[in-house]
Chains A and B, each alone.
Chain A
Amino acid sequence: MKLMRCPLNGWRNISEFTYGGEVESMPNPVTDASDVWAEYLFFHQNPAGLVHEWWCHTATSYWFIAERNTVTDEIIKTYPTSELFQKRVDFSQEEST
């Protein structure tokens, strides 16, 4: 069984995890056009090589980020979302500035 390290729960069988898609910046809901949103929601980069992905440890509903090599299927590292998202994004403020 392939193993993955959850930042909260430690090493677990891969069957305990759910894939959540590539990590991408969310478009601005106020200023970005619908084609940008369609790209964000329905299309994926799917590169050969290093990717950043959302994963969820199902037993705890804990979401985190994994760096994975799509060529070798090696999981390079996993870390909590707080390492990437450190402050709340306020779109309405962006618009007014």
Chain B
Amino acid sequence: MTTVHPETLKRRSMLYRKLATEGARFERTDDGAAPASYANANEVACARKMGIADLTTLPRIGFKGKDTPAWLVQHGVKLPGGPNQACLQQDATLVVRLSNDEHLLLDDVEFSGGLVARLASLWAFESDRLCYKLLREHSHFWLLLVGEYASAMLAKVCGVDMQPKQFPFGCVAQTSVARNNAIVVRSLLGTTPAFHLLADSASAEYLWFCLLDAMQEFNGGAVGLEALRALARESNSR
């Protein structure tokens, strides 16, 4: 198995040094590296209950402007019904609508979509079209909180009720998490509850610490992409 060293790649997570000290083994993403595993035999079991994964270097992109919805539809993107909603595309890319005119696209843990890369290459500035590309991969870090205790853990650090009845799949909250502004998106990994969390890149280490601290009572811990994929497949076949 080839060892991947994040510091030799173009894009690095704001957390990579910290994760390396926690025993992360990295794998290549698009032009960066993400933790594949932490050499923990119980990582899948941990992810099923309460896990936290760094997806910062996975493909994502944002678009903003009055003509953005029309431009995305023109390129075959299915849009969520309104602001603060998200929906899955056929290729498993998650489209998050942050306001009427602002959208965020997140690839899945298998990087199976390619929609993010396709839209990035299709987009070009046109002065008469109000649609602007946002470099979300630079402005935000991206975590996945996964497991049956994820909403209970979030209740400790966030004022929005994220229980499934109040905050079902596809709900989006732009709110305060551990006193930091964050975007939280309710998702699903197979049948296991999951939340995407994106926040300002400068706060990455602080929020990682806060969330790990909050999940201690649920025996939560860091998990890698391999555990997330195993969980997604296992859950799908149930």
Contacts and interface: CB of A to CB of B under 8 A. Distances in A.
Interface of A: 1, 8-10, 12-13, 15-16, 57-60, 62
Nearest to A10: B84
A15 B176 contact: yes
A9 B159 contact: no
Contacts of B84: 8-10
Contacts of B176: 13, 15-16, 58-59
B99 A16 contact: no
Contacts of A58: 176, 181
B182 interface: yes
Contacts of B98: 60
Interface string B96-120: 0011000000000000000000000
Contacts of B182: 59
Interface in B151-201: 159-160, 173-176, 181-182
| A10, A15, A60: most-surrounded residue (chain B CB, <10 A) | A60
B65 interface: no
Nearest to B172: A9
Contacts of A60: 98-99, 174
Contacts of B181: 58-59
Contact of B160 (A8, A12, A15, A57): A12
Interface of B: 83-84, 98-99, 159-160, 173-176, 181-182
A9 B160 CA distance: 11
A78 B200 CA distance: 28
A59 B176 CA distance: 7
A13 to B, nearest CB: 4
Contacts of A10: 84
Contacts of A16: 159, 175-176
B157 to A, nearest CB: 12
29 contacts: A1-B159, A8-B83, A8-B84, A8-B99, A9-B84, A9-B173, A9-B174, A9-B175, A10-B84, A12-B159, A12-B160, A12-B175, A13-B159, A13-B176, A15-B176, A16-B159, A16-B175, A16-B176, A58-B176, A58-B181, A59-B174, A59-B175, A59-B176, A59-B181, A59-B182, A60-B98, A60-B99, A60-B174, A62-B99
A80 B99 CA distance: 13
Nearest to A16: B176
Contacts of A8: 83-84, 99
B103 to A, nearest CB: 14
Nearest to B161: A11
B166 to A, nearest CB: 11
A13 B173 CA distance: 13
B165 to A, nearest CB: 15
A10 B159 CA distance: 12
